[in-house]
Structure 1
């Protein structure tokens, strides 16, 4: 609402005129509808985790007698011990951390280098290359597994963690390149032109100008790449056949047989397998929030 002053001109709306309207929206029924819907969605998403927590501390006999939705009558911890000993959990934990951490760092680095060439370098056919990266990211893993298996066998990398690290570095960097190239394409050219006039090389522009500005976005990609790789199952199942090289999701699947399933042990294994990823997310939650907020502000 404009305010007419004595000179006959109109002044833009001030905070005093906008604040009551915003406050009315915040106190209105729409706010409570949004909050209620958010709470309901969060509660529905927590249901599988609650069921897993209940069955992780329930004996097999009690699980068979009362079902998965009943409360445990006593604290049964043998399922945790069975999973820890049967799959050698510390070894699988180290394997998952090494693979996920390596993929997160390498994929972020490759994404930055690719996006710098596509978004800043303005290479010929940039749009076609970015589209190719997007299409590659949309390909299902089932369509890639046989060529990847054949190449790993021919190069001697089959049944090694390096093969999985290389595969997921390429897969994750395809998404990272598409995202970062779109962000860097809007970078002001005048900043780089001023740096070039000061004698900065392309490498110095990347690490002293582009990298510090893109650090929030890179931190978000790093966190996402770690969690996505941690949860991967199909490719590690095919590529890692040796028990000493397998990851936690593959080891967890090995507990289920053809005719017998120890549900409490599987739930207990799922619980302690999920904890490292949850801890990682909680530790870097502030970094993730700052990265998303910085990207929104830019």
Structure 2
């Protein structure tokens, strides 16, 4: 009887329905993972290809580029295009103009968004929905429709060909989006927490910095990074507002390489490569801050 019971238990264990299904599920999950990984890898290759072509053509000579194709490898490493771009556009000045204007817009725009959202979301001002709608409409306005009145106002106050005009304009433009985002976050802020702070004798300024600011700080860090990148990449308004070489930014420096009848493609690629390095380093430095901010905002 013991032998029969042992044989029956061994047979039941070997033919247990869960085990083959479990191995089959593992196999299917593994195949799905490899398929997703292959698709992600293909998308990554497609996204990296333009940057690889830019780097490859940045180190080609004009004769090498004209005799071959843009997809051909350079026959020699040609660095005169980098040097020519650096000296022709006076790149250090353009780089400094882009850095300090973008950084200032990022800081001022983020805190202006916080003050506006604190008044709208926590202060519960009248017509809150209409005010948020106005900020949404402001985000949709094209820059081509704004450039003439902005230029005339800058001219009247003496800010033509002045980087501070760019700082003021983009601080207001970027804060429109930041106000819309932060006001939606602060609109769901716990009222009990605010009332408890008021009962403890905290003023509105203290409530803002000791209660509200620690909660929205991750979201503000994400906004600050976005505002910096968006302002760095702006082209049309700085092109109209800044006319002299000492006040222009990096995107305008790249556009100056294109003439009416001639285009030096290797030098243009070299300039794009040099201009890409600061933003790439900025993203590497603040990548962890961006990830933490997005994750904290999602959890809250």
Task: Compute the TM-score of the two structures, normalised by the length of structure 2.
Answer: 0.90
Q: Secondary structure at the match of 2:78?
A: coil
- 1:153 matched to which residue of 2? 155
| Matched ranges for 1:43-122 at <5 A | 43-122=45-124
Matched-pair contact (CA < 8 Å) for 1:60–1:262: yes
Cα RMSD of the aligned pairs, angstroms, is 1.4
Deviation, structure 1 residue 283: 0.1
1:156 is paired with a residue whose SS is coil
Return the alpha-carbon distance in structure 2 between the equivalents of residues 204 and 48 of structure 1: 50
- For 1:100 and 1:150, the matched residues in 2 are separated by 23
* Aligned residue runs from structure 1 range 227-246, under 5 A: 227-246=229-248
Which residue matches 1:4?
none
Residue 35 of structure 1: how far off its partner (Å): 2.7
1:67 to partner: Cα distance: 1.7
* Counterpart secondary structure, 2:73: coil
| TM-aligned CA deviation for residue 24 of structure 1 | 5.6
1:215-252 deviation digits (Å, cap 9, x = unpaired): 10000000010011001100000000011000010011
Shift of 1:39: 2.0
1:254 aligns with 2:256: yes
| 1:188-199 mapped onto 2 (5 Å cutoff) | 188-199=190-201
Between the aligned partners of 2:245 and 2:217, the Cα distance in structure 1 is 37
User: Tell me, what secondary structure is at the counterpart of 2:279?
Assistant: helix
Partner of 1:184: 186
How far apart, in 2, do the equivalents of 1:95 and 1:26 lie?
A: 54
Cα distance in 1, alignment partners of residues 263 and 278 from structure 2: 24
Largest Rg, 1 or 2: 2
Count of aligned pairs = 277
Partner of residue 211 from structure 1, selected from 210, 213, 216: 213
Query: Are the structure 2 counterparts of residues 26 and 164 from structure 1 closer, same or farther at C-alpha, using a change threshold of 3 Å?
Result: farther
How far, CA to CA, are the matches of 2:247 and 2:90 in structure 1? 11
Give the deviation of 1:47 after TM superposition: 1.5
Which aligned pairs between 1:270-289 and structure 2 lie closer than 5 A?
Answer: 270-289=272-291
Off by >4 Å, runs of 4+ in structure 1: 23-26
Distance 2:183 2:232 in 1: 25
Alpha-carbon distance in 1 for matches of 2:177, 2:36: 31
**C-alpha contact 1:216 1:291 (8 A) present in aligned 2:** yes
CA distance in 1, matches of 2:187, 2:27: 37
The CA deviation string for residues 190-225 of structure 1, in whole angstroms up to 9 with x for no partner, is: 101000000000000001111111110000000010
Tell me the TM-score normalized by structure 1.
Answer: 0.90
Match of 2:6 in 1: none
Question: Helix, strand or coil for the counterpart of 2:263?
Answer: coil
